[in-house]
Amino acid sequence: MYRYDEYDHAFVAERVAQFRDQVKRRLAGEITEDEFKPLRLQNGLYLQLHAYMLRIAIPYGTLSSKQMRTLAHIARRYDRGYGHFTTRQNLQFNWIKLEDAPDALADLAKAEMHAIQTSGNCIRNTTADHWAGVAIDEIEDPRIWCEIIRQWSTVHPEFSFLPRKFKIAVTGSPNDRAAVRVHDIGLRMLRDENGEPGFEVIVGGGLGRTPMIGKTIRPFLPKQHLLSYLEAILRVYNRYGRRDNIYKARIKILVHEIGAEEMRRQVEEEWEGLRDGALDLPADVVAGIGRHFAPPRYQPQPTIATETERLRFENRDFALWLRSNVVAHRQPGHAIVNLSLKPEGGPPGDASAAQMDAVADLADAYSCGEIRVTHEQNLVLPHVAVADLPAVWRGLTLIGFATPNLGLVSDIIACPGLDYCALANARAIPVAQRISQHFADLARQHDIGELKIKISGCINACGHHHVGHIGILGVDKNGTEFYQITLGGHAGDDVSLGSILGPAVPADQVVEAIDSLVRTYLAVRQDGERFLDTYRRVGNTPFKERLYATA
Amino acid sequence: MAKNLTGTLQIVTANRLRDGSVVFLTQTAEWTSDIRRAAVARDGEAATRLLGIGTVAAAESRVVDPYLTAVTGEGDDIMPVSLRERIRAQGLTFAAISADATRYL
């Protein structure tokens, strides 16, 4: 894992001290809210419905057990004892007091964490494949490049006041697990004809009120040019991105308005002046950062993990969990364990301080002290020996994180919604809770198969509803919550945006509506088809007919 | 979700600066977390006056972003008109997990 050097430590400590003084002056009335607001937002502190919300960056979703314990400590000491893992692989605390925020940030800094650039019109936390470094299909660990991007983009003077926020996602595998086509910039690693790794550069994707699929402006970029090429893209965006209308300020609108070809031309032109310069990192610098992400020293493992095999045959719950939550690892004798933060009836992505501590303990005992956060609001123990799977499963069962529902109908993404968020139009969490309770029967969930439901409480789409196989968008109709349903969205390689099924349904009919959609799928699916496959074959019509006939 | 749907009865609400908590302006120009103690304006003039008091409190850095919002009833019967404001006044609409809990519910 990346460790702060002296520069990082000094920079974050300085920022905490600076913010402490700003908070002190604000509380003393020496600066106004208008003056203070941009300062607190630069430190990840929002004012939401009930309290301040602190959004903590978890760079590329990688956490050490020590950092997880720090998050648990902050939850206990400064919050109401729990936090919310987000679709940006970050963690949000919902009940922070302004007067406590500097202390919370100081405690975070001790664990090499901060909340800088988790808000504002700057380059946000770079996200990555949550199986980085352990996935069998991976070319190279994308976190090396995420870390390089983090260092380049942190308080980058030229890009601190962009037209709008800017999000970059990187996948180190040809199979996209980082939703790279719905980010401002998506980077997908692949090899050229000589076998050299590089990046496909995708620009102008995004969700929000105007969802767009990103366009490839360079099919292959040798990786040593990454920063100069990113700088060229950001310069073009910074120069031409619209600042007159907040709703048209993201790079996706620029790419849409001038076209991908013109965007490519401008970026390449800008890049000519930047390439082979100071931003092209020397190989030894890249190698130095790469060493932080070297695989841990795995212990030799027996060819057959007897206890694991025995339990698989004897215990149906364990077998189900292996099937849905455990994934093959590139190191023989090891496995990737996905923790479900979607217990039946629970708020998606929430974890208590006790759960965070328990995950940290399990990581220390069984996963080389390492944890990942996924953009689907779950956690990962990335380095578990197959022989340890029974112990890990028992440990996760005790804390409620072993629900065998990964990628299934109850593994729902939901934004905080109207229960917390000042922007929301409707609630998201209670809708997710009711759907997961309705589909509580795990055998049925496994029969239904892969089905990703994503819920946003407003058009800003933090719940990624546009790329849900079933997307649910909360809308406010004259003060009453309604939910618009979209079908057919998907965030993988074969990305697609959902299409609206019909009129929005009232809050009390959402579960019934989802049930109708699932029944339609079960009735018309062919052998081996997932929900998305069936939808792509038959389209909206059968779903629509059944739903609105019964509604 | 609308903050201030129209209605005859209105109150002033804001977030307290130091902790962000939801507060309501009382008859005695204090800020309370108990909506039942909120001062209720019965007409436009009274509402403007109340909001003026709130704005002064914001300028004095006691609260952030004071605004008027419509309610029905008064005292024990008071209820904000919009769902957003009901959630602000009454809290989450689901049970959050507690610090020591290892299971939800």
Tens digits of residue pLDDT in A342-399: 999 999 999 999 999 999 999 999 999 999 999 999 999 999 999 999 999 999 999 9
Is A206 found in the same domain as A319?
Answer: no
Could you tell me the two tokens for A438? 């309705």
What pLDDT, in 10s, does the model give residues A385-444?
A: 999 999 999 999 999 999 999 999 999 999 999 999 999 999 999 999 999 999 999 999
Question: Averaged over A178-203, what is the pLDDT?
Answer: 97
Q: Which residue has the tokens 């969930």?
A: A445
Cβ–Cβ below 8 Å for A419 and B94: yes
For position A434, what pLDDT does the model report? 98
Among the three residues A292, A323, A357, which one is the final residue of a domain in this structure?
Answer: A292
Closest CA to A358 of A308, A299, A389, A400: A400
**A162 & A272 share domain:** yes
How is residue A474 annotated by DSSP? E
Residues A68 and A159 in one domain: no
Query: Does any domain span residue A123?
Result: no
Chain B residue nearest residue A31, CA to CA:
B61
B6 to chain A, any CB pair closer than 8 A? The answer is: no
Identify the pLDDT of residue B6.
Answer: 62
The answer to whether the CB of A87 falls within 8 A of the CB of A377 is yes
Q: What is the DSSP letter of A333?
A: T
Residues A287 and A313 grouped into a single domain: no
Burial A73-89 (b: 16+ CB within 10 A, else e): bbbbebbbbbbbbbbbb
pLDDT recorded at residue B4: 57
Closest-CA residue to A264 (of A234, A233, A235, A242): A233
Residue B105 contacts A, CB cutoff 8 Å: yes
Q: Across residues A152-161, what is the average pLDDT?
A: 95
Q: Which residues of B touch A49 (CB under 8 A)?
A: 22, 84, 87-88
DSSP bridge partners of B68:
B12
Report helix, strand or coil for A339: strand
B84 in reach of chain A (CB within 8 A):
yes
Q: Which positions ≥6 away from A474 have C-beta within 8 Å?
A: A417, A418, A424, A425, A426, A427, A428, A431, A455, A456, A457, A458, A481, A482, A483
Last residue of a domain, which of A366, A398, A430?
A398
Residues on chain B touching A80 (C-beta within 8 angstroms)? 96, 98-99
CA distance A476 to chain B (A): 6
Token digits of residue A431: 């809708």
> What torsion do the CA atoms of A376, A381, A383, A388 make, to the nearest 10 degrees?
-130
Q: Is the Cβ of A500 closer than 8 Å to some Cβ of chain B?
A: no
What gap in Å lies between CA B43 and CA A4, rounded to an integer? Answer: 59
A25 touches chain B (CB under 8 A): no
What's the confidence (pLDDT) of residue B103? 80
Question: Could you tell me the residue range of the domain that residue A332 belongs to?
Answer: 306-398
Length of chain A as a residue count: 551
Can you tell me the distance from the alpha carbon of A92 to that of A109, in angstroms, rounded to the nearest whole number? 16
* C-beta atoms surrounding A308 within 10 Å: 20
Q: How many CB atoms lie within 10 A of CB A402?
A: 22
Q: Check CB contact under 8 Å for B22 and A80.
A: no
Q: Which sequence spans correspond to the domains of chain B? A: 9-90
Adjacency order of strands within the sheet including A168-171: A127-128, A168-171, A185-191, A197-203, A215-222
Say which of A28, A29, A479 has its CB closest to residue B82: A479
Whether A115 is covered by a domain: the verdict is no
Residues of A in contact with B98 (CB under 8 A): 80-82, 352
Share of chain A above pLDDT 90, in %: 97
Q: Does B96 touch chain A (CB under 8 A)?
A: yes
- C-alpha A545, offset from chain centre: 34
A25 and A97 inside one domain: yes
- Residue A369: which residues within 8 A CB-CB, separation 6 or more? A64, A65, A66, A363
Cα A431 from chain centroid (whole Å): 20
User: Is pLDDT of A332 > 60?
Assistant: yes
Nearest CA in chain A to B85: A49
Q: Is residue A452 part of a domain?
A: yes
Please tell me whether the interface predicted TM-score (ipTM) of this complex is above 0.90: yes
Contact B87 A82 (CB under 8 A): no
Q: Are residues A272 and A347 in the same domain?
A: no
- A270 and A317 share one domain: no
Q: Is residue A122 part of a domain?
A: no
pLDDT digit string, tens, across residues A251-268? 999 999 999 999 999 999
A98 touches chain B (CB under 8 A): yes
Residue A493, in any domain of the structure: yes
Closest-CA distance of chain B to residue A24, Å = 10
Name, in order, each residue with C-beta under 8 angstroms of A1's C-beta and a sequence gap of 6 or more: A62, A64, A292, A293, A370
d(C-alpha A536, C-alpha B29), whole Å:
60
Positions of chain B with pLDDT under 50: none
What pLDDT is attached to residue B82? 94
User: Same domain, yes or no, for A95 and A35?
Assistant: yes
Domain end point (choices A349, A368, A398): A398
pLDDT score recorded for residue B87: 97
Q: d(Cα A408, Cα B1) in Å, to the nearest integer?
A: 30
Residue A116 within any structural domain of the chain: no
Residue of B105 and A182 predicted with greater confidence: A182
One-character DSSP codes across A341-384: ---TTSPTTEEEHHHHHHHHHHHHHHSTTEEEE-TTS-EEEEEE
pLDDT single digits (tens) A449-475: 999 999 999 999 999 999 999 999 999
H or E stretch at A80: none
Residue A483: give its domain's CATH number: 3.30.413.10
Q: Would strands A453-456 and A470-477 be described as parallel, antiparallel, or unpaired?
A: parallel
Chain A contact for B64, CB < 8 A? yes
- DSSP for A15-63, please give it: HHHHHHHHHHHHHTTSS-HHHHHHHHHHTTEEE-SSSEEEEEP-GGGEE
Domain contains A48? yes
pLDDT, chain A, mean: 96
CB A124 within 8 A of CB A80: no
Residue A287 shares a structural domain with residue A365? no
The Cα A397–Cα A245 span in angstroms is 49
Question: Looking at the domain assignment, is residue A245 inside a domain?
Answer: yes
DSSP letters of chain B? --S----SEEEEEEEETTT--EEEEBTTS-EES-GGGB--B-SHHHHHHHHHHHHHHHHTTSEEEEEEEEEES-GGG-EESSHHHHHHHH--SSPPPPTT-SS--
Residue A183 and residue A214 in contact, taking contact as beta carbons nearer than 8 Å: yes
A82 in reach of chain B (CB within 8 A): yes
CA distance B94 to chain A (A): 7
- CA–CA dist A352, A82 (Å, integer): 4
- Reported as a single tens digit per residue, the pLDDT across A30-68 is 999 999 999 999 999 999 999 999 999 999 999 999 999
**B94–A81 C-beta distance less than 8 A:** no
Give the nearest chain A residue to B1 (CA atoms).
Answer: A425
Cβ-proximal residues to A185 (8 Å cutoff; 6+ apart), any chain: A166, A167, A168, A169, A201, A202, A203, A214, A230, A233, A251
Question: Do A319 and A219 belong together in one domain?
Answer: no
pLDDT at position A526 is 97
Among A34, A418, A455, A460, most B C-beta atoms within 10 A, so best to mutate, is A418
What CATH number does residue A90 fall under?
3.90.480.20
- For B44, the token pair is 């436009």
pLDDT at A303: 84
Q: Which residues of B37-51 are buried (b: 16+ CB within 10 A; e: fewer)?
A: bbbbbeeeeebeebb
Yes or no: say if B27 and B39 are a contact pair by the CB < 8 Å rule.
Answer: yes
**3-state DSSP call for residue A387?**
helix
Residues A487 and A170 sit within 8 Å (Cβ to Cβ):
no
Say yes or no for a CB contact (<8 Å) between A430 and B94: yes
- B60, A400: Cβ pair inside 8 Å? no
Q: Are residues A334 and A482 in the same domain?
A: no
Domain count across chain A: 4
CB A351 within 8 A of CB A67: no
DSSP state of A212: B
B95 and chain A in contact, CB less than 8 A: no
A344: which 2 tokens?
A: 């039946």
Q: How high is the pLDDT of residue A545? A: 96
